[in-house]
Each structure stands twice: as structure tokens, then as C-alpha cells.
Amino acid sequence: MLASVLSGKEKCNRRKSVSPHIVLFSCVLLIIWLFWRDSVYRHVAVTAFWIPLIWLAILGSRPPALWFAPTQHVGNSLKDVDGSPYNLIIQMAIIVAAIITINKRQLSWGLFLKQNGALVCLYSYFAVSSLWSEFPLASLKRIFKDFGCVFVALVVLTEENPTFVLTTVFTRVSYIIFPLSVVFARYFPNIGRNYSIGGEPMVTGVATQKNSLGMIVFVLSLAIIFELLRISKNKHTSATKGHILILWCMLGLGAYLLHLCQSQTSLLCLLLGIIVLLGCGRIRRTSNPRATLARIAIAISFLILASSALNLKDIVLSLIGRDSTLTGRTNIWKVLNEKPVNPVIGCGYMTFWDSDMGQSAIEELRTLKTAHNGYIDVYLGGGIIGCVFLVAYLYIGAKKTISNMLSGTNYGCFGVAVWVTAIVYNFSESSFLLLGSLWFALILVLVEVPKTTSEDELSTSPI
């Protein structure tokens, strides 16, 4: 015991003997080298690269205002930076750049709106919900800003080879997020570590909360695994052993960060996503893929129905380190259920937590502005009607991704993995309609774009 304590002190002293600024400088040099090394392997057009990359990097870290003008915070309560001019200027600049890029590519907006009716209806309804919100201008501003995810996603999807651009952007963002998060967590605790409202220490890395860090790590890691599977099965790829080694190193850093931040939901979703990616490849190789998929759906439905009778839920929760209350989430849901929210139309987009009802829930539960459940958060903002629009969008998106997967496209396999993990993730965390990496990834795989270019050269290489 004494030896382990002394060993821990020696490690701590060695870390202190190394200047944090030298470590940070070395990390920046590493990131620059990784970008250069990746550009040698694959070249991407400037517009298709920087617009989604900067957007995803912001979604996966913290608002620009907290980088350019850091605020003092106690526990996990930050000063409100939603209306910061830093955020507004940078986000609007990215959105405008995305719109200009899309228009230059002559996207047929009429056909786009027709092919994505469910998504348009979902956003349109929540835009209308600002009419009955207590804060109509704030609600309308948020829905417009959040719709920016669609414009940025179209920059990727209107490329001649969207799969290539997507994997490049996600991989290169991991070159930034992963090393910086490790450096901040170990050498800059005032940035990379924080305390929850309950006073528990947590690792946040480049993000502001451990679950936010867990989400971006899980999404980027899933994209890296997709890239590795594609490379391993594509004999015509130009990937070198050095590039593959770098991808495996990024996965190692991702696993280390998930261990540090202890985001069990993100870890579970990453494992589930890997299973889905591998499973899609096996399903496509069967003699009757549709029948195989139907049998799997029936088996999953049976397990869900049997879980109540066999108490499987508590067993699974104990295996992933969660109790039957999902770390207090069931108490949050119970309190929110007692609030007098209009069950049909809700409180208006993203304004429940700013209302008197939301503030009383925050004070009572000592929690953040989230229900830790994406479906409940959508219900609070849009009621049953909002949930119906969301379910319709997810259902139509599922049909599209499954159809793409069965037709032999790798993009379809990645789409199914993102769709499944997003459905599961939102049972204990919130990501639907929010500016976050998982919702951005979901839009990327569910949005239908009018085909005006050649087919993706990577789409039919098997996984």
C-alpha cells in the first residue's frame, strides 16, 4: 500500500517537473504533423474540408466564447454564453460559408425539401413552437442556429465522394480532440477537469462536461473503426501501414479518454456501434439479407419483451456499472413528469429549462439543463406532436439507411450504426435536435441529397 502511494507521488512529481506549456506545444506540433501525414495519404478540397471540420470540432469541444473569453465557474455551472458575440459570429460565418458553397454546387432546393419532408416538418414545427414559448425570440434563434447542422452536412453530402470526405473530416477532428483532451486532463486541470453539481470530480478534456467528452469520443471512434474496416476490405485502397497505425493509435487514445471520463453510455454505444458495423457486413453476405434482418429484429423485440419478466435490465445495468435508477436519472424523469407541461404542444423549442418550471426542476434536482433523455427533452419542447415528428423522421431515416446497407453501400452500414446508437444513447442522454456531434452524424447519414454527381467510389467496397 505504501509503495503504491509513493509510486503515485513519484509519478505526480515527474509530471510537475515537465512544463505543461512544453507538453502543450509538443501536442500542437503532433497535431500539425498528423494533419500533414494525413494530407499525404488523401487530398480533400479546401471548402469540403474546413467548413465541416471547424463545425464538428466546435460541437465536440466547447463554445468559442469559452476559448476566447474563459469564464470562472463553480462546479459545473457556467455563465451563460448562449448569446455571446463570439459564438454568434463564428457559427453564423460557418453557416453562411456552407450556404454559399452549396449554392455554388447548384443543389436543387425544391427536390431536397421534397426528399427530406420529415426533417423539414420536424424543424418547421419547432420553429412554429416559438409562438407559444415564454421566450419566442430565443426559441426562434436557437432553432435557426441548430438548423445550421443541416447546411454544414450538405457541404459533405454534395461532394462527389461523401464517404471519403466524411471519414477524412471525422478522422482529422480526432487528431485535434483526442491529444488535446489528454494533455488538458493531465497537465491543465483548470481546463481539462471539473466538478459536477454534486461535487464529484470529472474529466472533461476539451469539452465542458464528461458526457459531452464521452459523446464526441464515441462518435469519432466509431468513424475511425468504420474507416479501418473499409481499408481492411478494400484491396484498391492507397492506405499505408503508417496511416493504419495512426488510426489505431487514435482508437487507443479514444479508449483511454472513455476510461478517464467514465461515460458509460458513450462506451456502451461505441461497443454497440462496433457490433452493428460488423453485423451489417455479415448480414449482407447471407443468401437472403432481408430475411436475416427480419429475424434479428424479431429476436431483439423478444428480448425487450422478456427483459421485464426476467429482470434482464437490472443485470445489464449492473454489468455496465449503473444502478436501477440510472445514476439518479429515474428521479429526474419522475420530477419532470410532475411539471404542468402542455402534453400536446410542449413549452416551445429549448425554452423549458429557462421557464419557471425548468428553474424549479434545476433547483430541486441540482442538475444541468437536460432531462438526460432525448425523448423527454423533445417532449418538453414540443409535446406529443414534437415526438411524433421525431419518430417519423427516425423511422423514414431507418428505411433509407437499411435500404442503402442492403444494396451494398458502406455508407449505409455506417448509417445503420449511427442510427442504432443514437436511438440507444438518447434513453439516458440527450442529443436529438441539439448542437452536438451525434446529431450532426445522424443528419449526415439520414439526409437525402438529390444525386447530381457520380456515385461514391467507396460505397460498394465490402465491409
User: How would residue 17 be classed by pLDDT, with cut points 50, 70 and 90?
Assistant: low
Per DSSP, what are the bridge partners of residue 201? 195
Give residue 60's identity as a one-letter amino acid code.
G
pLDDT at 432 over 50: yes
Q: How far apart are CA 385 and CA 68, in angstroms?
A: 39
53-71 tens-digit pLDDT: 999 999 999 888 777 654 4
pLDDT at 45 over 90: no
Strands (E), 281-327: none
Helix (H, G, I), strand (E, B) or coil at 74: strand
Percent of the chain with pLDDT over 90: 42
pLDDT at 9 over 50: no
Question: Nearest 5°: phi and psi at 123?
Answer: -70, -35
Using CA atoms in the order 196, 197, 199, 200, what is the torsion angle rounded to 10 degrees?
-30
- Buried residues in 119-129 as b, exposed as e (16+ CB within 10 A): bbebbebbbbb
* Beta carbons of 257 and 205 less than 8 angstroms apart: yes
What is the structure's pLDDT at 22?
93
pTM of the full structure? 0.88
**What average pLDDT does the chain have?**
83
* Beta carbons of 155 and 101 less than 8 angstroms apart: yes
Length of the chain equals 463
Report the Cα 199 to chain-centroid distance in Å: 26
* Beta carbons of 380 and 347 less than 8 angstroms apart: yes
User: Nearest Cα to 374, choosing from 393, 356, 355?
Assistant: 393
pLDDT at 226 over 80: yes
CA atoms 393, 145, 138, 60: torsion sign: positive
How buried is residue 50: exposed, middle or buried, by Cβ count under 10 Å (0-12/13-18/19+)?
middle
Mean pLDDT of the 97-106 span: 91
Give residue 377's identity as a one-letter amino acid code.
D
* Beta carbons of 359 and 399 less than 8 angstroms apart: no
User: Nearest Cα to 322, choosing from 274, 263, 271?
Assistant: 263
List of residues 6+ apart from 71 with CB closer than 8 A: 65, 78, 79, 81
What is the structure's pLDDT at 411?
84
What is the structure's pLDDT at 370?
81
Residue 36 DSSP one-character state? H
Q: Which comes out higher in pLDDT, residue 74 or 167?
A: 167
Mean pLDDT of the 132-136 span: 88
* Beta carbons of 389 and 346 less than 8 angstroms apart: no
Q: How far apart are CA 254 and CA 181, in angstroms?
A: 10
193-195 vs 201-203, strand pairing mode:
antiparallel
DSSP one-letter string for 164-215? HHHHHHHHHHHHHHHHHHHHHHHH-HHHHEEE-TTS-EEE-TTSSSHHHHHH
Question: Nearest 5°: phi and psi at 106?
Answer: 60, 50
DSSP one-letter string for 219-278? HHHHHHHHHHHHHHH-TT----HHHHHHHHHHHHHHHHHHHHHT-HHHHHHHHHHHHHHH
348's torsion region: left (phi>0), alpha (psi -120 to 50) or beta?
A: left
How buried is residue 16: exposed, middle or buried, by Cβ count under 10 Å (0-12/13-18/19+)?
exposed
Mean pLDDT of the 247-271 span: 93
User: How would residue 76 be classed by pLDDT, with cut points 50, 70 and 90?
Assistant: very low
The CA-to-CA distance between both ends of the chain, in Å, stands at 48
Q: How far apart are CA 88 and CA 51, in angstroms?
A: 16
Q: Give the domain ranges of the chain.
A: 20-446
List of residues 6+ apart from 367 with CB closer than 8 A: 197, 332, 361
pLDDT at 73 over 90: no
What is the structure's pLDDT at 213?
93
User: Nearest Cα to 95, choosing from 67, 59, 134?
Assistant: 59
Which set of grid coordinates corresponds to residue 47?
A: 471548402
Q: How far apart are CA 90 and CA 153, in angstroms?
A: 17
In angstroms, how far apart are the furthest CA atoms of the chain? 71
CB count within 10 Å of CB 290 equals: 11
Q: Which comes out higher in pLDDT, residue 224 or 209?
A: 224
361-413 tens-digit pLDDT: 877 777 667 888 999 999 999 999 999 999 999 999 999 999 888 887 778 89
Q: Which helix (H) or strand (E) holds 269?
A: helix 264-284
Per DSSP, what are the bridge partners of residue 77? 74
Q: How far apart are CA 190 and CA 192, in angstroms?
A: 6
